[in-house]
Structure 1
């Protein structure tokens, strides 16, 4: 594969990260909770001087270390490269989150209807980001990669392990919130809505709208 094609693939991946970050931020701004994958990060940011992006980066570093622990008995060069590749992209993703948090600092829904609209918009944008992140097949984000290596290590189905992982994160976020602020913050009905519909939106976009055939016309390098 030519360097130009490789660059295009990584460019699409980074664009996907931006949409993913923007979607997460809009869900946060809906004031109805956040996504399961961002729940712990958000609770930590609410109860510390650290930004959401910084907390996201720190949690990603923990997940990367966890991946190295998971592959310690079956470590291949390809696995090591895939895990190390997450470092720069985690930094970029965290920067995108803080940029979008600053960009939407004045965005406060006036009523519940606007909150729902903001939540659904965030889910749609986040789903676009997920599709653009997956299509190039160049890297994985830390959370998905952790589930991948954990499911491989314990010989479990990826989808089922992903559900357990998300539930664990939300549970941990609730416990941390209760310990740090004596109330539940960052986990509300929006968290459940986002968890339930995002997968369906991703599937629809992937199969009907943002198909490989459609993307080929824009970026032949994705073939």
Structure 2
């Protein structure tokens, strides 16, 4: 799951059971953050804006269902981009995708009561939601297990083209935004869920993850220093 050397430094190399627990907890916290960002009502992430817009186009299906459908499409596109590298084990990515969909619907239900009128509180809620979203993503990166189909698709494009991973992800997110915009205009007559909060989300999530990486390294460094001090004391 780690995309670069910086991420590889923080991955958990412990037992598989512990890493799966960490991964599932990360999914839950991530979806809770997404739910809070949605309840803020001032704009959400590209992926969420698309799936949320679809719930207005055809309400009988939940956002979690639309999210899972998007992951299925991405898995199919992954196969089309690089069929020779596609393995049966790639279908395992649908398991965490299903868990994410279920957790998203659950958290949207839990946060249903949140209704804010004051704009500054909406901004605060978005900031808190993005912090939770980023922390969940951090835990998933740390668990270093199965890639979600969307990330798998971006990685496959990276392997096929050699372009920078960050640029591909940005292009992918912009494509989702354009798709969400077009669907909103075509079926609803207006653009939904893409506002100033969408830009704030794009900025904050990356900065939060950097902060979590920094704090993790600081904690690990302190633990190492204490262990060294304990060893030196034992030797004396």
In the superposition, the TM-score normalised over structure 1's length comes to 0.88
> Secondary structure in 1 aligned to 2:112?
coil
- Per the alignment, residue 146 of structure 2 pairs with 139
- Per the alignment, residue 57 of structure 2 pairs with 47
- Structure 2 unpaired stretches of 5+: 1-13, 225-236
- Per the alignment, residue 68 of structure 1 pairs with 79
Q: How far apart are the structure 2 equivalents of 1:91 and 1:186?
A: 23
Shift of 1:110: 1.8
- Structure 1 unpaired stretches of 5+: 218-223
Q: Is the 8 A contact 1:47 1:180 kept in 2?
A: yes
Shift of 1:142: 2.1
Aligned: 1:58 with 2:69: yes
- Per the alignment, residue 157 of structure 1 pairs with 164
Shift of 1:68: 1.4
Match of 1:190 among 191, 197, 215: 197
Q: How far apart are the structure 1 equivalents of 2:53 and 2:219?
A: 37
Aligned pair in 2 of structure 1 residues 213, 52: CA closer, same or farther (>3 Å)? same
Deviation string, structure 1 residues 40-74 (Cα, Å, up to 9, x no partner): 111101221211111111111111111111221x3
- Per the alignment, residue 91 of structure 1 pairs with 98
Deviation string, structure 1 residues 147-196 (Cα, Å, up to 9, x no partner): 11112112211111111111111111111111110011111111110011
In the superposition, the TM-score normalised over structure 2's length comes to 0.83
Structure 1 residue runs of 4 or more that deviate by more than 6 Å after TM superposition: none
- Per the alignment, residue 44 of structure 2 pairs with 34
Q: How far apart are the structure 2 equivalents of 1:27 and 1:209?
A: 25
Aligned: 1:6 with 2:13: no
> Secondary structure in 1 aligned to 2:85?
coil
Q: Is the 8 A contact 2:79 2:86 kept in 1?
A: no
- Per the alignment, residue 117 of structure 1 pairs with 124
Q: Is the 8 A contact 1:32 1:188 kept in 2?
A: yes
Q: Is the 8 A contact 1:147 1:158 kept in 2?
A: yes
> Secondary structure in 2 aligned to 1:169?
helix
- Per the alignment, residue 220 of structure 1 pairs with none
- Per the alignment, residue 100 of structure 1 pairs with 107
Paired positions, count: 209
RMSD: 1.9
Q: How far apart are the structure 2 equivalents of 1:190 and 1:84?
A: 33
Q: How far apart are the structure 1 equivalents of 2:70 and 2:127?
A: 26
Deviation string, structure 1 residues 91-145 (Cα, Å, up to 9, x no partner): 1000000000100111111210111011001000001001001001111122222
Aligned: 1:177 with 2:187: no
Aligned pair in 2 of structure 1 residues 76, 99: CA closer, same or farther (>3 Å)? closer
Decide which structure has the larger Cα Rg and report it: 2
